[in-house]
Chains A and B, each alone.
Chain A
Amino acid sequence: MSAITMRELTKIYPGGVRALDGLDLQIADGEFFALLGPSGCGKTTLLRTIAGLEVASTGSVSIGDRDVTNLPPGQRDVAMVFQDYALFPHMSVQDNIAYPLRIKKMDRRTRGAKAAQTAAELGLSQLLERRPGQLSGGQQQRVALARAMACHPSVFLLDEPLSNLDARLRLEARTFLKRLQRELGITTVFVTHDQAEALALADRIAVMDGGRIRQVGTPTEVFRQPANTFVAGFIGSTPMNLIHATVVDGEVAVGSVRLALPEHAHGQVADGENVVFGVRPEYLDLSSEPVAGALSGTVAVVENLGSHSLVSLDVPAPAAGDPAVSVQAVVPEGAEPTPGAAGWLVPRPGRSLLYRGGELVVAQAQPAVTV
């Protein structure tokens, strides 16, 4: 009903900056969708183009079965929550929530009642008379959400919804947001630069870089099978280890060490090919005894993260003369090595990936980016 479809979307700013570059994307009805990427990747431009605050240079945007490419924001039936919430400082909470209804020419009493009702749903009943300046960050966010809900849009757009909250409140707001979206069932698109936020909230994620989409998938897909080294390095609270290697005799050779070829690459790579071996720190087991098929090195740094520790090992470079490669592994509580000790890292079977030319080695010759 209110799916969002973008075709060949390109946005070039007057200065010549290409913020979106021929982008195709489909967001399903009722989906909670994340646009994830580093700053300057075009994710906010994409959100603003859906909202109508930016006009696409070429390409089209449709919401439901309506082509909205050239419609002004007010006619697109979308609601947007801004990063700074954009609550009108001179209006009370109730007037803020009622503002979209005021624009729709609803009379004062009806819109006041509707606003109060929406506020009650979000637990804001006590705050109706206050000004935005008298609210905490979390309350301001709820008011902004209530204002967006009040006009019953077919699409919600959230720009960095959690970035203005402090760390503890952010977790609370994250759960709240996910519950709210599930209950309302409205197609919601949000922008974030925080991969953990995207993984936790979204039904599907689009990872963006340089105005293009590098991968679209569920959080599990994006986390387990990053389509390219960019996504691999971006997703995950600790970045994936990406180690340059060559294929020798059906195995992955890192210097003199031979690692098992990841399953997905069986029969897809030829001997002598230069590849990148990727494995998440969570999927490397540290051993203090020599093990076959393991990367060996010296423990350089141990970072305590509470329930586990992040260990960085200096592994000698494959080619003589290169600087040592730093490989990170997560070890459970109580198993921390001491810096300076020797260690062997064994990749867990089925959890390592192989990249060729920056893209994941896949079974068929299909494009890595699937939309």
Chain B
Amino acid sequence: MSGTSVVETRERKASTVSARSAASVTVRAVLARIGRYTFLSAVLGFFALPLLWLATAPFDSQPTLTASIPEFTLDNFRTLLDNPYALPSLLNSIYLAAGAAILVVSFAALAAYALSRVRVPGRDALLYGLLLLSSIVTGTATMVPLFELAFRLNLIDSRLGVILVLSGGLLPAAIFILKDFMDTTPTSYEESARVFGASPLQIVRHIVVPVVRPGLATVTVWTVANVWGNFLVPFLLFRLPDKQPAAVIVYTLYTEGGQANLALLSTFSLLYSLPVVVMFIFVSSRYGFRFHGGIKR
């Protein structure tokens, strides 16, 4: 009799202990989940709030630095249209981005193709060296020499000057990305075309460019985004405001009192960011982004 009861109590004790531990495990799991979601919400909020502000402030008659439900108005857009530099600056940005993209993509493609196919002694060292130096070319450190150079070459207030400087800074990384795409393309494609009698230019046009098209698309978007956001180089090399791109014009949107004009600033920022977003969506749906080469075979 007593023996069985002892066993029972033990079992009961064991079961309560396990129940208690099970309860504590679930509590811990719930707490962990709450913690995780709180953290994620905080991070998400951190990134989403500025975007939310960008979406609401342009339509608010009295925008502040906080995101709030706007008193809906389109007045801000009307005011912005009256600014003589705002809309032309977006066009300027397009000129610069398009020019640099054409230059960077065509030169990077040719250079990457050559570097991928021809044995050049010290090729990798050259590439890494260029990559390292390229961050300096368009950086703050070379502001003075860049200005001096542009001045001597009569490239102040010239779109070509800005495009050349920006392209120079972007080319090494573009070559680097594209060379990876070229490397993963088998040489037998080109040799096959050669045996059929294709000229080098035909090989590039018919075979190489179509095969590395995702890479070219990637580099184009990357170049445009970089030029679109670049402030320093156009700020330095354009003296007149009528050629300044949007990235620089944003900086001039102040009230007479020297305060940032939040209404204009937010409206302009919205217009400024839209083209890049549209381009991303278009290119990614059309070609798909791939930062590593290789084609499905």
Listed in ascending order, the chain A residues whose CB lies under 8 Å from chain B are 14, 51-53, 72-75, 78-80, 82-84, 86, 88-90, 99-100, 102-104, 132-133, 151
Contacts and interface: CB of A to CB of B under 8 A. Distances in A.
10 contacts: A79-B195, A84-B186, A88-B189, A88-B193, A88-B206, A100-B197, A102-B206, A103-B193, A133-B296, A133-B297
Contacts of A75: 197
Contacts of A82: 188, 191-192
Most chain-A CB neighbours within 10 Å: which of B186, B188, B211? B188
Contact of A103 (B188, B191, B198): B198
A53 B296 contact: no
Task: Give the size category of B's interface with A.
Answer: 20 to 34
Most chain A CB inside 10 Å of its own CB: which residue of B119, B193, B213, B295: B193
A103 B202 CA distance: 8
Tell which of B186, B189, B295 has the most Cβ of chain A within 10 Å. B189
Interface centre among A53, A86, A102 (most CB of B within 10 A): A86
A84 B189 CA distance: 9
A183 to B, nearest CB: 22
A80 B194 CA distance: 10
A18 B186 CA distance: 25
A86 B296 contact: no
A104 B196 CA distance: 9
Contacts of A74: 194-198
B207 interface: yes
B189 A86 contact: yes
Given A88-B189, A133-B296, A133-B297, A73 B207 contact: no
Nearest to B198: A103
A53 B196 contact: no
Given A75-B197, A84-B186, A90 B211 contact: yes
B210 interface: yes
Given A82-B188, A84-B186, A103-B202, A90 B210 contact: yes
Which 10 A-B residue pairings sit nearest by Cβ, starting from the closest? A74-B197, A86-B188, A86-B192, A100-B196, A90-B210, A82-B188, A73-B195, A80-B195, A103-B197, A73-B194
A88 B119 CA distance: 24
B203 to A, nearest CB: 10
A98 to B, nearest CB: 11
A86 to B, nearest CB: 4
A132 B297 contact: yes
A86 B186 contact: yes
Contacts of B194: 53, 72-74
Contacts of B198: 74, 103
A151 B191 contact: no
Contact of B195 (A51, A84, A102, A104): A51
A344 B23 CA distance: 81
A100 B198 CA distance: 8
Contact of A99 (B193, B295, B296): B193
Interface in B42-98: none
Nearest to B119: A14
Nearest to B188: A86
B295 A86 contact: no
A105 B11 CA distance: 91
Which of B197, B198, B211, B213 has its CB near the most chain A CB atoms (within 10 A)? B197
A216 to B, nearest CB: 25
B195 A53 contact: yes
A89 B189 CA distance: 9
Contacts of B295: 89
A100 B197 CA distance: 8
Contacts of B211: 88-90
Contacts of B196: 74, 79, 99-100, 103, 151
Nearest to A134: B296
Contacts of A102: 206
A72 B191 CA distance: 11
B63 to A, nearest CB: 49
Contacts of B197: 73-75, 100, 103-104
A89 B210 CA distance: 9
Nearest to B194: A73
A173 B202 CA distance: 32
B295 to A, nearest CB: 5
